Amino acid sequence: MTVTTRWSGTGRRSGRTGTPAAAAPRRGRRALTGIAVETAITLTVVAVVLAWMGPSLYRQDLVFLAATYSLIALGMYIPFVMAGSLSMAYSAYAAIGAYGVALISVRTGLSMWWGWILGALVAAVVAVVLSLATQKLSGFYLAAVTLLFGMAFEHWLIDGPAFTGGSAGISGVEAVTIFGWQPPRYALVVLAILFVCLVAVVVDRLRKSVWGLTLRASRDNKNLARSSGVNPAHLTVVALAVGAAIASTGGSLFTVSVQAVTPETFTLSIVFLAIFMPIIGGRNSAWGAPLGAVIVVVVTLNMPGYQGSGELLLALAVLVILIAAPGGVIGWAASALTRLVPRSNNGREQL
């Protein structure tokens, strides 16, 4: 192989190999492009959802439910998709966030925002303890044990201490206030959408970060990760803790929207739905989880003429997507765009 070099007028050798100084502007442009794309996606999502919602109170409730599902699905996305750890305890984590807001607001009289913070911390701690107790389990056995934990937690909320309110739950949660301002319900919906988009951006950036790449590499080949000095078990514990904290915010958001919570609010059915949300939307992007949540809500609760058969339609939709578009809706759209772009380029070359 022949290497061609060029000499400048000053006698210094120059080539086409990029230097760190030359690469810095390119990295800056890529970062700005990424921020612009994320901002455009966020604004588009907000505009489309608000245009569909309109002034309808029923659709506002559906948007709140979709936002709750999105946060739970984003919480499951990190350990399930990125780490390959199928934990089924996310109904318990969402319930911890929900009860955290309710208990802080009703029992202590403090601002309910403390409930968001404490709920996320407690959910992360519970996830760490549960992951350490089950670190030698995987696959079906891990799913079964964590599923039983979610069921036991729901029964504990019903039959446990008096401060949980028993089967009646807790009601009378204070309304949201931001520095003394109590936003109307429409503004709360907008804030909920923006919060989901913010979490989706953070999770997607986390997926593309060095930690995210290491986590996915250890998922695919644990022995190779260990040989590189990486402990896959530690990465999985951190992933489960972060996912549990995110899922708890979904429970907090739902409690704020209805100003009450009961043990039956977050059942195991939510966990099964959350598993399929990234599959429907697309596993190769964190945005697939919110997109899948929107599709799940629309199919199960907002299909005219199909009330009562939403779960059947959802099962058929999942089956079709797994067969026709294994990469989910986002993967199918990306592949379709990839097939269209070369044709347009060829057309320009012929012209």
Reading the block at residue 254, the tokens are: 């739902």
Domain segments of the chain as ranges: 53-298
Reading the block at residue 105, the tokens are: 């607001």
**Rounded distance between C-alpha atoms, residue 228 and residue 189, angstroms:** 46
pTM as predicted: 0.83
Burial (0-12, 13-18, 19+ Cβ within 10 Å), 86? middle
**Rounded distance between C-alpha atoms, residue 11 and residue 3, angstroms:** 18
Q: Which of 12-26, 193-207, 238-252 has the lowest mean pLDDT?
A: 12-26
Which pLDDT score is estimated for 34?
A: 62
Sequence-separated (6 or more) residues with CB below 8 Å from residue 199: 70, 71, 74, 246, 249
Which pLDDT score is estimated for 118?
A: 94
* Interval 323-334 mean pLDDT: 80
Which pLDDT score is estimated for 27?
A: 61
Burial (0-12, 13-18, 19+ Cβ within 10 Å), 156? middle
Task: With a cut of 90, say whether residue 249 has pLDDT above it.
Answer: yes
* Interval 326-340 mean pLDDT: 79
Residue 52 vs residue 114, higher pLDDT: 114
Task: With a cut of 70, say whether residue 178 has pLDDT above it.
Answer: yes
Which pLDDT score is estimated for 23?
A: 56
Which pLDDT score is estimated for 78?
A: 92
Q: Strands 170-171 and 260-261, how do they pair? A: antiparallel
Q: Which of 165-179, 244-258, 305-319 has the lowest mean pLDDT?
A: 305-319
* Interval 125-130 mean pLDDT: 94
- Main-chain dihedrals φ then ψ at residue 178, nearest 5 degrees: -120, 105
Check: CB of residue 172 under 8 Å from CB of residue 106.
yes
Task: With a cut of 70, say whether residue 177 has pLDDT above it.
Answer: yes
Task: With a cut of 80, say whether residue 133 has pLDDT above it.
Answer: yes
* Interval 266-274 mean pLDDT: 86
Sequence-separated (6 or more) residues with CB below 8 Å from residue 250: 67, 68, 69, 70, 71, 72, 75, 94, 97
CA-closest candidate to residue 290, choices 207, 200, 201, 202: 200
Residue 44 vs residue 258, higher pLDDT: 258
- The torsion of the CA quartet 267, 269, 271, 276, rounded to 10 degrees, works out to -160
Which pLDDT score is estimated for 5?
A: 44
Check: CB of residue 240 under 8 Å from CB of residue 79.
yes
Query: What pLDDT, in 10s, does the model give residues 55-79?
Result: 888 888 889 999 999 999 999 999 9
Residue 239 vs residue 160, higher pLDDT: 239
Tell me, which fold does domain 53-298 have in CATH? Answer: ABC transporter involved in vitamin B12 uptake, BtuC (1.10.3470)
**CA distance between the termini of the chain:** 36
Query: What pLDDT, in 10s, does the model give residues 7-56?
Result: 444 444 444 445 555 555 666 666 667 667 667 777 787 788 888 877 88
Which pLDDT score is estimated for 1?
A: 44
Q: What is the mean pLDDT of the chain?
A: 82
